[in-house]
Amino acid sequence: MDGLRVDAVASMLYLDYSRSEGDWVPNVHGGRENLEAVSFLQETNATVYRRVPGAMMIAEESTAWPGVTRPTHLGGLGFGFKWNMGWMHDTLDYLSRAPVFRAYHHHQMTFSMMYAYSENFVLPLSHDEVVHGKGSLLRKMPGDRWQQLANLRALYGYMWAHPGKHLLFMGGEFAQEAEWSEARSLDWWHLDDPRHRGVTALLKDLNGIYRATPALWERDTSPDGFSWIDANDAEDNVFSFLRWAGDPASGDPTRSGPAAGAPAAGTVLACVTNFSGIPHTDYQLGLPFAGRWREVINTDATEYAGSGMGNMGSVVAVDAARHNQPASATLTLPALATLWLCYEGSGQN
């Protein structure tokens, strides 16, 4: 067994879930919590992890019940992961809006970091979002077909750099146009279109670079593995943040944190997303270290069927403070695109 994803956990946890007053009986303490369901879930999770080490137990739980992923011996439900329903709803709502209106909803995208470390989260773009008249991920995006695909690529780049694990339902990997139905096959013919193949190529590269970059996962459940560069650039529709890893050479997990000195190459990554419909040239971005930063992902690259606008593979940060960072670089941010920049050190040519 690989694991279990338990649906609608909230309906088990609350005695009054979807029930009118008078249609439920309080627990022995007079509360609405279903104590027997809590015990059942705790025992189920503990038994699975004991008998199948490495299994994944994932809760789809839509309320703020505390400790869903806390170990059972500490009073939690004992799941390994919880779907981040708030992140999903806020992100898709923001991206469904035309770029000209996104500035008024900017903090829908930043709010998830207020609670990102309260549980071990999965970021779900699941079957639930592409069925029953909701439309495919592609059709949720505004604009013409080029803009829809660019929005989707930018979302994937932002999502893969955001703390949390990543769940993408089948068809999302090549930007399926029709919503999913169990009655028919996926629209595999989209792969004859280079624009859709570009989405597949992007996801392949995102997965490969993610695996090879400890900054994206080594401190995924620790607040010191993430720091905003600028969470407030609503006017430009730009979000920028840093992901951090420890120094594998020294074994010191604080070596390359925000308060430490310059890290080994590749142990810090900057993610910059422009959800505006226009490019930003000469964009000044604060960075923690002077030196060369390699552009390892540009979702607008031609190999992903983008326009090819970017930074010629790298930027050089200089000792000029910006965004409360000691260094800064001048970037070209393509419209509807995400960039990943990996620090390569001050001695790079």
In this predicted structure, what is the pLDDT of residue 263? Answer: 72
pLDDT in tens, 184-208: 999 999 999 999 999 999 999 999 9
In this predicted structure, what is the pLDDT of residue 266? Answer: 64
In this predicted structure, what is the pLDDT of residue 243? Answer: 98
DSSP for 254-291, written as a single string: TTTSTTSSPPPTTSEEEEEEE-SSS-EEEEEEEESS-E
Selected catalytic residue, list 21, 36, 60, 295: 60
**7 counts as catalytic:** yes
> What is the b/e burial string over 64-80, where b = at least 16 CB atoms within 10 angstroms of the residue's CB?
ebeebbbbbeeebbbbb
CA–centroid distance for 120 within its chain: 13
**What residue type is assigned to position 241 of the chain?**
F
Selected catalytic residue, list 7, 43, 252, 319: 7
CATH domain 222-345 topology: Immunoglobulin-like (2.60.40)
Count of all residues that appear for the chain in the document: 349
Q: Is the pLDDT of residue 258 over 70?
A: no
pLDDT in tens, 208-249: 999 999 999 999 999 999 999 999 999 999 999 999 997 544
Per-domain boundaries in the chain: 3-83, 222-345
Going by DSSP bridges, is the β-strand pair 280-287/314-317 parallel, antiparallel, or unpaired? unpaired
Q: Is the pLDDT of residue 253 over 50?
A: no
Question: Residue 257: left if φ>0, alpha if ψ -120 to 50, beta else—which one?
Answer: beta
Contact 198, 149 (CB under 8 A): yes
Residues 6+ apart with CB under 8 A from 198: 149, 153, 303, 304, 305, 306
Q: 142 phi and psi, to 5 degrees?
A: -80, 165
pLDDT in tens, 87-137: 999 999 999 999 999 999 999 999 999 999 999 999 999 999 999 999 999
pLDDT in tens, 283-331: 999 999 999 999 999 999 999 999 999 999 999 999 999 999 999 999 9
Alpha-carbon distance of 48 to 269, in angstroms, equals 36
Contact 276, 300 (CB under 8 A): no
Q: Using 50, 70 and 90 to split pLDDT, how confident is the model at 345?
A: confident
Q: What is the CA radius of gyration of the chain?
A: 22
pLDDT in tens, 56-65: 999 999 999 9
Q: Is the pLDDT of residue 347 over 70?
A: no
- 259 or 343: which carries more pLDDT confidence? 343
Q: How many helices (H) and strands (E) does the chain have?
A: 7, 13
**192 counts as catalytic:** no
